[in-house]
Amino acid sequence: MANISKRFGTLLANDHVDFEVAPNEIHALLGENGAGKSTLMKILYGLYQPDEGEIRVEGQPVRFEAPADAIAKGIGFVSQHFSLVPTFTVAENVVLGYEGGAVLNQQQMYQAVTDLAKKYGFGINPAAVVRDLSVGQQQRIEILKALYRSCRVLILDEPTAVLTPQDVESLFAILRELQQKDLSVIIITHKLEEVMNISQRVTVLRMGKVVARESTAATTPQDLARAMVGRNTVAVVRNVEHQPTPTVKLAVANLHVTDKRRVEVLRGVSFQIHEREVVGIAGVAGNGQSELVAVLSGTLKPTEGQMRVNGQPVQLGSPHDFHRHKVARIPEDRLKGVISDLSVAENLVLEQLDDFTAAGHLNHRQIQDLARQLIADFQIKARPEDRIGTLSGGNIQKVILARTLSREPEVVIAAQPTRGLDVGATEYVHQVLLEQKQRGAGVLLISEDLDETLLLSDRILVMYNGQIVGEFAAAEADVEQIGLLMTGATVSEKLNVESEK
């Protein structure tokens, strides 16, 4: 891929990217969330067309208008979201939609899939119904599907994100097997450990650009982490005014959560937040942050653990009790935080309807008055009667802030509070969060943007694989060290040993 650029509106998702894969190579494509990895691979698979640049397969320029064109040139793609038909058998799923040559009867189809599975060493029963298979097994079917279409280059988009550690080992064994059988593999990941373990070369993307391309043996996890998160772009205004007090606002102890895959996604999380303190959680998405937010919002009951606000126990999994203890949350998905068919005024009072109800009737005058007040206080560019669905992302976020923060919460849980907002709205959200701190609240900030976390936090906790693996006072925070911890390097000695191998 030469000089590939791709825009989404004003966003440059791929910025003049050069990317190549050699025969028999496992090539890791590394980068933080939003770096442009999936976009680049969707271009290679014909799902997106580049605005600029050229793709060559074995030296020949090609144009991929659709995945069928890419498949015809030997490109296979296993996306983060599987596209299997749950009620079909393994063999049916593998063959489905591919009329490569002769029409097969049932028996030929099962034979073909059996042979293929045997050739690549897959332990799979072609007659099994996909619905009954584990996630790891389903992923293997997706790989078989690509192999059935004779792919020479197999792209895997964050294949390990959905797997247990044991499944990761079997996947890697399969990838090594494919390599032996002359395939090339591109594996997208944001885990350094995996890059070091499986790849021969690595390309690092940051903000749409290639920032490093190395032979894996010649690089170190430290170099890769630095390339991935960027150099220390120390923010000018740090949150230094108003020191936290010793009073504990929020204390959580020993939080454990086991998800539907029976994977433990929170593994004993404990921390405290003080009065006038912003605690930031740094981490690569998918390391338990969403579950932590859900637990601290009262929407997910952990399998184990306790929580106290101002020393009082809070009933985990009870949104009502969270409301009573004044735990406010700014949800990760702001569109889920509002009801788009309702007006701005109605959305503003959504959580305190009781206060505006007398004898079963809503007091609309009162609601309008409060709405006008909040619209002014929070600089929302809308009228009370506007449908919230018509507002910009920044203004929707302001409605959520107004609704949750006007109650003067004791604890604020802010999840990705500026994701997708423009610079102005982002600054406004930052200012409002610091105001909450100054008022005396304890604030938890969960953000994928490390610069934001550094800017706002008094203290930073690093989360990896469901655990807090590091803690830094913001004033002493070392971006490189945080970046390493974020990608699973718990002990620096271990990394040094690995990189010397």
What is the smallest separation between the CB atom of 410 and ligand ADP, expressed in angstroms? 34
Nearest to 274 by CA among 495, 441, 49, 399: 441
- The listed partner (ligand ADP, Mg ion, none) that binds 164, CB under 5 to 8 Å by sort, is none
CA distance 339 to 388: 7
CB-nearer residue toward ligand ADP: 33 or 170: 33
Place of tokens 């940051």: 206
Tell me which stretch binds Mg ion (CB under 5 A): 31-39, 54-62, 459-467, 478-486.
31-39
Tell me which stretch binds ligand ADP (CB under 6 A): 15-23, 26-34, 451-459, 481-489.
26-34
What is the smallest separation between the CB atom of 48 and Mg ion, expressed in angstroms? 13
Place of tokens 């060290």: 481
Query: Which residue(s) pair with 312 in the sheet?
Result: 309
CB-nearer residue toward Mg ion: 35 or 429: 35
What is the smallest separation between the CB atom of 420 and ligand ADP, expressed in angstroms? 8
Tell me which stretch binds Mg ion (CB under 5 A): 3-11, 30-38, 339-347, 470-478.
30-38
CA distance 461 to 482: 9
What is the smallest separation between the CB atom of 241 and Mg ion, expressed in angstroms? 38
CB-nearer residue toward Mg ion: 42 or 140: 42
Residue 38 within binding range of Mg ion, rule CB under 5 A? yes
CA distance 71 to 150: 8
CA distance 293 to 269: 12
CB-nearer residue toward Mg ion: 157 or 193: 157
What is the smallest separation between the CB atom of 183 and ligand ADP, expressed in angstroms? 22
What is the footprint of Mg ion within residues 263-322 (CB under 5 A)? none
What is the smallest separation between the CB atom of 180 and ligand ADP, expressed in angstroms? 28
Please answer whether residues 98 and 147 qualify as being in contact, where contact means their C-beta atoms are separated by less than 8 angstroms: no
Residue 442 within binding range of ligand ADP, rule CB under 6 A? no
CB-nearer residue toward Mg ion: 38 or 219: 38
CA distance 482 to 230: 12
What is the greatest pairwise CA distance in the chain?
Answer: 77
What's the full length of the chain, in residues?
A: 501
Residue 191 within binding range of ligand ADP, rule CB under 6 A? no
What six digits make up the tokens of 370? Answer: 């409060």
CA distance 331 to 58: 47
What is the smallest separation between the CB atom of 14 and ligand ADP, expressed in angstroms? 8
Place of tokens 């119904």: 129
What six digits make up the tokens of 290? Answer: 């969403």
Tell me which stretch binds Mg ion (CB under 5 A): 34-42, 56-64, 231-239, 322-330.
34-42
CA distance 230 to 160: 24
What is the smallest separation between the CB atom of 76 and ligand ADP, expressed in angstroms? 18
Count of residues interacting with ligand ADP (CB under 6 A): 11
Residue 195 within binding range of ligand ADP, rule CB under 6 A? no
Q: Compute the C-alpha angle 167/172/177, nearest 5°.
A: 125
- Beta strands at 277-282 and 442-446: parallel, antiparallel or unpaired: parallel
Q: Compose the 29-48 pattern: x for residues touching ligand ADP by CB under 6 A, - for all others.
A: --x-xxxxxxx---------
Query: Which residue(s) pair with 264 in the sheet?
Result: 258
Residue 453 within binding range of ligand ADP, rule CB under 6 A? no
Please answer whether residues 113 and 94 qualify as being in contact, where contact means their C-beta atoms are separated by less than 8 angstroms: yes
CA distance 126 to 117: 9
CB-nearer residue toward Mg ion: 123 or 420: 420
- The listed partner (Mg ion, ligand ADP, none) that binds 6, CB under 5 to 8 Å by sort, is none
Which residue in the shown chain puts its C-beta closest to Mg ion?
38
CA distance 310 to 297: 16
How big is the chain by its Cα radius of gyration, in Å? 25
CB-nearer residue toward ligand ADP: 13 or 153: 13
CB-nearer residue toward ligand ADP: 41 or 327: 41
| Residue 252 CA, distance from chain mean position | 23
What is the smallest separation between the CB atom of 106 and Mg ion, expressed in angstroms? 38
CB-nearer residue toward ligand ADP: 38 or 139: 38
- The listed partner (ligand ADP, Mg ion, none) that binds 31, CB under 5 to 8 Å by sort, is ligand ADP
Tell me which stretch binds Mg ion (CB under 5 A): 32-40, 299-307, 340-348, 356-364.
32-40
Query: Which residue(s) pair with 280 in the sheet?
Result: 445, 460
Residue 11 within binding range of ligand ADP, rule CB under 6 A? yes
What is the smallest separation between the CB atom of 159 and Mg ion, expressed in angstroms? 12
Please answer whether residues 488 and 465 qualify as being in contact, where contact means their C-beta atoms are separated by less than 8 angstroms: yes
Residue 13 within binding range of ligand ADP, rule CB under 6 A? yes
CA distance 38 to 80: 9
CB-nearer residue toward ligand ADP: 464 or 472: 464
E-strand stretches of 142-183: 153-156
Tell me which stretch binds ligand ADP (CB under 6 A): 6-14, 138-146, 260-268, 457-465.
6-14
Residue 8 within binding range of ligand ADP, rule CB under 6 A? yes
CA distance 42 to 144: 19
CA distance 95 to 112: 9
Treating both helix axes as pointing N-terminal to C-terminal, what angle do 364-377 and 393-405 enclose, rounded to 10 degrees?
110
What is the smallest separation between the CB atom of 198 and ligand ADP, expressed in angstroms? 18
Place of tokens 């959560």: 257
Interface ranges with Mg ion (CB under 5 A): 38
Interface ranges with ligand ADP (CB under 6 A): 8, 11, 13, 31, 33-39
